[in-house]
């Protein structure tokens, strides 16, 4: 496969499972693209998790997060076994006011079941 084809596969996986899972508060959908245990990198530490460490519904409730704008996702490196990607967005309330910016890093590996995320890091500002 070409570089562009591999990038598209990773993007398609991210959109189908991760974005839709977050949009609909469906961890079971996110679970379909995660290889557990997953490394969660946050606040200067790494935690190995047997379940997805970020709960979309909890985030929405705690932050009054309704939607995101200025969303970007880019596969920055990919080969036939591994991929790295970064994403960023601005989280907003229902009235459109900004809550925070978020930036994420994701590491994927290609398995017989398709691309699986095995590491995630996030930073908000």
- pTM here is 0.91
Query: pLDDT class for 78, splitting at 50, 70, 90?
Result: very high
Give the contacts of 119 (CB within 8 A, at least 6 positions apart): 38, 39, 40, 41, 105, 106, 107
Burial-class residue 89 by CB neighbours within 10 Å (0-12, 13-18, 19+).
middle
The mean pLDDT of the chain is: 96
Report the pLDDT averaged over residues 85-112. 97
Give the span between the Cα atoms of 1 and 4, in whole angstroms: 8
What pLDDT is attached to residue 19?
92
Report the pLDDT averaged over residues 70-76. 96
Query: pLDDT class for 71, splitting at 50, 70, 90?
Result: very high
Domains and CATH numbers, the chain: 3-124 (3.10.450.50)
What pLDDT is attached to residue 120?
98
Beta strands in 34-78 (DSSP E): 34-42, 45-49, 67-78
């Amino acid at each position: 496969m070409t570089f562009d084809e591999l990038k598209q596969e990773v993007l398609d996986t991210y959109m189908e499972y991760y974005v839709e899972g977050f949009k609909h508060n469906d961890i079971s959908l996110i679970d379909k693209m995660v290889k557990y245990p997953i490394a969660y990198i946050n606040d200067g530490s790494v935690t190995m998790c047997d379940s997805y460490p970020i709960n979309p519904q909890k985030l929405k409730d705690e932050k009054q997060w309704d939607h995101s704008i200025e969303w970007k996702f880019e596969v920055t490196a990919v080969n036939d076994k591994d991929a790295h990607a970064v994403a960023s967005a601005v989280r907003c309330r229902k009235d459109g006011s900004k809550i925070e910016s978020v930036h994420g890093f994701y590491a994927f590996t290609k398995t017989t079941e398709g691309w699986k995320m095995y590491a995630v890091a996030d930073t908000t500002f």
